[in-house]
Amino acid sequence: MRIKSLMLETKNNLIKDYRHEDEQMMTHFNYSPFNDYEKRLNDLNEQSFAREALVEVLHKQNKRWDAGEQSINNIDRLKDKQSVVVIGGQQAGIATGPLYTINKIISIIQFAREQEATLNVPVIPVFWIAGEDHDYDEINHVYMNKANRLKQHKLKQYVAEREAISHISMEKSHVKAWLDEYFLSFRESPYTKKIYEEITASIEQSATYVDLFAKIIYKLFPTSGLVLIDSGDDSTRQLENEHFVEMINNQEAIAKTVYQSLQHMRQSGYHIALDVAENDGNLFLMHEKERVLLERDAAGYWVGKNEEVKLTTDELLEIATNEPERLSNNVVTRPLMQEKIFPTLAFLAGDGEIAYWSVLKEAFETLNLKMPPILPRLSITYVSRSVQKVLEKKELNIDDVINKGVHRQKMNWLASHEFAPIDVLSEELKQSISELHEPLSEVAKKFGDDVVGVAEKNLMYLLQHVEHLENRLTKEMEKTYKDGLLEYEHVSNELKPFNQLQERVWNILPWINEYSVTWLEELTNESFDYEQNHYLIYL
């Protein structure tokens, strides 16, 4: 395994300024992302946490998912009042979802180990499974390679209600059929049979998609000491009831500060994909098996956006106290709840998360909290041996490929096999036709608008015929040089699929199938500079 840093080009000014610790940007955060961990550790000493109750919930959940001995021991270490956590989270994607989830977990494990050695206190890696989320369409698919084209591979199970992922019963027959088709897209390797059998067994042992996610994660990182928590589990809700009460009582201040912070950031020229209003309740309520997002109306009632429910504050406080499993957090209150439950040394975040955390500082302050350090997670591209060979053969610069794709190089390579490029010849012919057609167009103007229209259509048809010929010639040339073009497609599909970063499209299983599982935990033991914005891992 070889590791190389790469400077990823980005047009996201917010992330640029955050990484460079721009003075104005840092007023929206309590800590530096890279340097303030001793300071944060001292500040955590002023907070108290329900550690015994947290440990009990974590034991219950993680034993259900067959957590390894190191993970169970780490749960017990949370009883130590000096212990802290490095935490991050994501939805429970099928077969773990896109690679960025795996990259985030690697970041959490690696950084926790690094900080424990530096600070000399127990630092526990924790992954927050966003089981309270209800967007099933976000978690029900991966992309797979079919005939050198990436296609979405989707579960057939139909889910109608906006039900939390933690509460959706998994239809095992659909998941098994999905897995069978997915594995047919893989090259059979020495590891294929074992991986398939282990995932099949996990499906049999799982009741929900969160269960399946957690079991696969523990098979990928069996000795890492990682601890998982399901945010949608009823036992987690029992930890949250008094914090729900506090958020309900501070709803007005939380909503107002977030709204005003977002407006300030936008006026400063930063784009943040967050939709908030001053009357947001920032909590969901389970109502007839669906999550209903609450807001405050003019009369002070808590209502659903489509008037599904209508509650007084006292009624909502009653639910928070006695039926907390009916409530769940949204994008604003989830970070606040995390901070109430866990002694957080650092939160590992993607670019989108950093953006919306940038408007939460004053919301934290309404609950007498400081926002934890927000550390950008590792962004990684994995480079297979087959792609390494093509890069060398075609003399492709991998930095350029990941930042810009391979289309330009591919077309240059194709054009180099002809005496004159087809697109240039076609453009010259269209220019000549337009010039020769001009006298006829001038004559047409003397006979009125109808004749002018005919002349314009005539020119359009002539140019379309040239474009048709150009397309046909291009296709014929592509057939002639099919093998060479497929090599470019192979590089593009792996490193820059759909012109996006690999981690946003690919799933981990094709890589595990090729190289086994051992390299993942090896990667967590490597040293990384989190100020670098991208890494290449040569497998």
Query: Residue 428 has what pLDDT?
Result: 77
* Positive or negative torsion for Cα 277, 281, 284, 286: negative
17 pLDDT tier (thresholds 50, 70, 90): very high
Map tokens 């033991």 to a residue: 525
Q: Measured between alpha carbons, how far is 121 from 140 in angstroms, rounded to an integer?
A: 39
Q: Across residues 60-64, what is the average pLDDT?
A: 97
| Mean pLDDT of the region 332-340 | 97
State the DSSP code for 349: E
Percent of the chain topping pLDDT 90: 83
pLDDT tens by residue, 101-115: 999 999 999 999 999
pLDDT for 357 equals 97
Mean pLDDT of the chain: 94
Q: Looking at residue 475, what is its pLDDT?
A: 80
SS3 state of residue 539: coil
Q: What is the pLDDT of residue 480?
A: 67
274-291 in b/e form (b: 16+ CB < 10 A) is bebeebbbbbbbbeeebb
pLDDT over 90 at 444, yes or no: no
pLDDT single digits (tens) 464-483:
998 999 898 878 776 667 77
CA distance 178 to 185: 11
Are 441 and 459 within 8 A, CB to CB?
Answer: yes
What is the model's pLDDT at position 421?
Answer: 65
Question: pLDDT band at residue 270, thresholds of 50, 70 and 90?
Answer: very high
Q: Which two tokens stand for residue 149?
A: 């084209």
322 pLDDT band, cuts 50/70/90, is: very high
- Look at 470 and 41; give whichever has higher pLDDT: 41
pLDDT at 450 over 90: no
pLDDT, position 247: 97
Write out pLDDT tens, residues 73-130.
Answer: 999 999 999 999 999 999 999 999 999 999 999 999 999 999 999 999 999 999 999 9
**Residue 169 in tokens:** 């019963």
Three-state secondary structure call for residue 78: coil
- Going by C-alpha positions, the residue among 125, 46, 29, 53 that lies closest to residue 341 is 53
Burial class (CB in 10 A: 0-12, 13-18, 19+), 139: buried
